[in-house]
Amino acid sequence: MSQPDKMKGMETLSCQIITEKEMRQENRTRVLCMKKAKLLFWNTSLNRYSINALLGALENSCELFDIIDIGFFIKTNDIYESIDDLKKYEKVIVAFSFFTPQIWDVNNLITQLAPIRDELDIVFVAGGPHATGDPVRTVTTLGFDYALLGESEATFPIFILRIIEGISLTGLKGICYKDHDGNVINTGQSDPVDITKYTPVSLRFRRIGPVEITRGCPYGCSFCQTGHILGRCTRHRPTEQIYNILKAMKTELNASHFRAITPNALSYGSGNGVDLNLPELEKLLITVRKALGPGAKIHMGSFPSEVRPNNVTNESIGLLKRFVSNRDLVVGAQSGSERILKLSHRGHSVDDVYKAVEIITRHGFLANVDFIFGLPGETVEDAEMTVKMMSDLADMGARIHAHTFMPLPQTEFENAPYGRVKHQIRKMLRDLTPKGIVFGNWEEQARLSKKIHTYLAKGIL
């Protein structure tokens, strides 16, 4: 296979990869006999989709597998028990992708692994929403050697190769680290990638799952990192590529289920990410069924995707009903107060939520409606409006998915006070939870919200 064929989908990296390959030609024989590095991913249920995407990106640069082995771990004991094997490698790279609520777990793992530095040439690398939003403290407080910022499909393979070969990171965008003098170097968030050049799954490592069909969100909600990290311009994966991905998953791993990763399950094909494009959405659903076969289970509008209230119409929900297997749809309401919705830049109204739940219920779906309590600026009057909406929606047959606001880095509400659930809401949640009408980890999120606020404000873990 020619080098261009091997590098298909990574044209923007090819010049750098080729140059760096030439730098190690004299070691080629030794490399083929013993791989130089071990790349270990922290593998949890919350982080698995990011790992799948990074492994897919590495597969686009197959040359890297000549010099690295891949492994996974959950607990530090997984690494300590394999210490003798890890000593065979010149370098061990331990990679974490994580969210802000996970920083305490991650910091504990890094602390527990610190003694290994005496035995191994080990490097700790962070990525994901928290590292992107708070890169400096990721390398100064959490204990990481490097943080990768933004979309890393293009950056990650080059970064891994340079770390292994000891090549300078100069000129590589999307990296934060401390230099030899202890100065923090931040090269800024990486540029948005062309998602059509990468696959969100890894057949080589049998890592399949939901397929990202759209990246970016035009709304930029004040509490959400998605639009800030992945941009406000929506990028859709074309149906032809989705077909090829699913067909390969079906052929090689007998996949029969499809789930979508998207900020809005009804936005597929939309030019601006706001208006509906039902012909393209229908084409997508037809493509999925064609790729996986007539017995395929198609899940759209349930986790990890939702439907926005302003996109719920008889036509859009009727289209989903023709194809999907899930009988519930997740609707993001977030508040029953028009003022709070506008303050949060939600892009929909209170009335949109009522209409959405009515349409969803009429088509035979169960509406699971998300609410975020304690949003910045919420007053007692706002809380009372939310209580009324929850009561109304419950009477309409909906279930309430309860969340507490948590400040997140690189959002408009990053420096806002932590979420406090008003007495009226707290009482209603506790009354309705035993009846199965309310679910969610809002109480744990309330505790986390205060911890996150303290960390972001003072840098105290």
pTM: predicted TM-score of the whole model, two decimal places? 0.89
Give the number of other CB atoms < 10 A from CB of residue 214.
Answer: 23
Choosing among 3.30.465.10, 1.10.150.120, 3.20.20.70, 3.20.20.80, the CATH entry for 201-458 is 3.20.20.70
Query: Are 144 and 124 a contacting pair, CB within 8 Å?
Result: yes
Give the number of other CB atoms < 10 A from CB of residue 188.
Answer: 12
The SS3 assignment for 171 reads coil
Given this model, what pLDDT does residue 22 score? 40
Query: Are 151 and 430 a contacting pair, CB within 8 Å?
Result: no
Given this model, what pLDDT does residue 6 score? 35
Sign for the CA dihedral angle at 260, 262, 263, 268 comes to: negative
Q: Where would I find the H helices in 166-259?
A: 226-230, 239-253
What does the block give as tokens for 165? 């070969």
What does the block give as tokens for 344? 């949060």
Given this model, what pLDDT does residue 8 score? 38
Given this model, what pLDDT does residue 63 score? 81
Identify any residues that bridge with 370 across adjacent strands, giving them in sequence order.
332, 401
CB neighbour class for 180 (10 Å; exposed up to 12, middle 13-18, buried from 19):
exposed
What does the block give as tokens for 239? 């149906």
What does the block give as tokens for 448? 């986390």
**Gyration radius (Cα) of the chain, Å:** 23
**Highest CATH level, class, for 3-186:** alpha beta
Given this model, what pLDDT does residue 34 score? 65
| Exposure string over 216-245, b if 16+ CB within 10 A, otherwise e | bbbbbbbbbbbbbbbbeebbbbebebbbeb
Closest C-alpha among 118, 65, 117, 124 to residue 93: 124
The bridge status of strand 175-178 relative to strand 184-186 is: antiparallel
CATH 3.20.20.70 domain locations along the chain: 201-458
Q: Which residues contact 254 (CB under 8 A, 6 or more apart)?
A: none
* Tokens 């149906």, residue located: 239
What does the block give as tokens for 355? 């209409």
pLDDT tens digits, the chain, 461 residues: what are they?
Answer: 443 343 333 333 333 333 444 434 434 434 444 689 999 999 999 999 999 999 999 988 778 889 999 999 999 999 999 999 999 999 999 999 999 999 999 999 999 999 998 889 999 999 999 999 999 999 999 999 999 999 999 999 999 999 999 999 999 999 999 999 999 999 999 999 999 999 999 999 999 999 999 999 999 999 999 988 899 999 999 999 999 999 999 999 999 999 999 999 999 999 999 999 999 999 999 999 999 999 999 999 998 899 999 999 999 999 999 999 999 999 999 999 999 999 999 999 999 999 999 999 999 999 999 999 999 999 999 999 999 999 999 999 999 999 999 999 999 999 999 999 999 899 999 988 999 999 999 999 999 999 999 999 999 99
CATH 3.40.50.2300 domain locations along the chain: 3-186
What is the enclosing helix (H) or strand (E) of 401? strand 399-404
Q: Which residues contact 213 (CB under 8 A, 6 or more apart)?
A: 236, 237, 242, 260, 261, 262, 268, 284
Query: Are 282 and 324 a contacting pair, CB within 8 Å?
Result: no
Query: Are 342 and 349 a contacting pair, CB within 8 Å?
Result: no
Closest C-alpha among 354, 362, 343, 444 to residue 391: 354
DSSP character string of 178-241:
E-TTS-EEE--PPPPP-GGGS-SSBTTTTB--PEE-EE--SS--TT-SHHHHH-SS-EEPPHHH
What does the block give as tokens for 238? 């074309």
Q: Where would I find the H helices in 73-215?
A: 76-80, 83-86, 103-113, 129-133, 135-140, 155-165
What is the enclosing helix (H) or strand (E) of 449? helix 442-458
Given this model, what pLDDT does residue 436 score? 92
Given this model, what pLDDT does residue 368 score? 97
